[in-house]
Chain A
Amino acid sequence: MSHRHATSAELELYVLGGLDPERAAVVEEHCASCDACARGLAGEARLEVAFEQVARRAERAPVVARPVRAAAYGAAGLVAMAAAVLLWFGRAAATPTTGEGTAAAAHHTMQDGAILDARNDALDGG
């Protein structure tokens, strides 16, 4: 067995598959019986596995469609708001009012309520 501890660079290169076969064999032989170096090798290996997660996440990460989708939703929202404003103004202009502002709105709501009550009464046979 080799008594020299493996350096962190050697452990990293081993995991990357970059050590020459002779040196790799020495590192393996040493790590098989040295707890500290075995832990170091396991740490490098865990890092290697974690990098696969990082790469997978990075591949998913560039969601280029998101800003486009947000912009589309934003545009749709603006159109909807504009339509609502136009409808409101159109309706306000077409509705005859006896007053102005909130008083007119309250009157309008009361009228609607009275119509609904009359319809309900008719349905109940009252």
Chain B
Amino acid sequence: MKSFADAAPPFGFFSAAAAQRAPAAPSVAVPLGPAGDDGALCSAALGGDAHAWSALVDRYNHRVVVALLARGIRIDRAKDIAQEAWMRLVEQQRLGKLDRLQLPGLAITQATFLALEAQRRDAGARKHDPIDEPKIASALADPHGDAESRMMTEERVARAVEVLSRCSPSARKVFRLAYGGEGLSHAEVARRVGLSLQRVRQILCEVRAKLRAELEEGEDET
């Protein structure tokens, strides 16, 4: 795969340090408010603002890498793929092909697509084979493959939801903000609930410990 060093980054936003940086503390030129700044950043990025892209990469790259790790991709490879995914998004924006920017979902989808494409190449497919779009689309939509394992997962998720409902309201709120639809960074969650970053991570670790048993139970069988 083409490395980031080989390809001239369109905005030079992706340094090696940025690739390793934790997602918590973006250092950006675009000012970040506690709420609603994501939309402003995405709008600025869609307008070609390099600082906005840099801030978005800082904020979401780690989640893209984690999504790839969850698919069993090695860390070094996952980081390369994540970089390329961001580069593709910037390229699409420069070509005027990007009219909306929903992150981190779009970056994760792009990275997953690249990973599947690479997997396909590695599997020895012929060079000029057309990309099997339906297969890739179904893999993107359903990483669990068959219905039985999907049902098992659904069962476990339902049990985990039950466990979550027994956690304290503040723990549930922190969990919901970090993992729910808003998908805030831990720093943003801390700002939102008025706790320290450490305390937010501590709460998340506690909730994780409670949910882990439910989600991992029977994983070997599926």
Contacts and interface: CB of A to CB of B under 8 A. Distances in A.
B195 interface: no
Contact of A59 (B72, B74, B180): B180
Interface stretch (B5-13, B122-130, B155-163): B155-163
A21 B20 contact: yes
Interface stretch (B34-42, B43-51, B61-69): B61-69
Contact of A45 (B70, B158, B161, B181): B70
Interface string A112-123: 000000000000
A54 B66 contact: no
A102 B191 CA distance: 75
A54 B157 contact: yes
A47 B212 contact: yes
Interface string B66-97: 11011010111001000000000000000000
Contact of A18 (B70, B161, B186, B212): B186
A118 to B, nearest CB: 60
A46 to B, nearest CB: 5
A32 B74 contact: yes
Interface string B135-167: 000000000000000000100111011001100
Nearest to A54: B160
A49 B212 CA distance: 12
Contact of A42 (B72, B164, B183): B72
A55 B175 contact: yes
Please classify how large the interface on chain A is, using the bins under 10, 10 to 19, 20 to 34, 35 or more. 35 or more
A16 B75 contact: no
B75 A32 contact: yes
Contacts of A20: 22
B216 interface: yes
A82 B104 CA distance: 56
Contacts of B158: 57
Contacts of B208: 12, 47, 51
A58 interface: yes
Contacts of A18: 22, 24, 186, 201
23 contacts: A13-B201, A18-B22, A19-B22, A21-B17, A24-B20, A28-B20, A31-B74, A38-B75, A42-B72, A45-B66, A47-B215, A48-B70, A49-B67, A51-B211, A54-B157, A54-B164, A55-B175, A55-B181, A56-B180, A56-B181, A58-B164, A58-B165, A61-B165
Given A49-B66, A50-B153, 4 more contacts: A16-B186, A31-B75, A49-B70, A55-B176
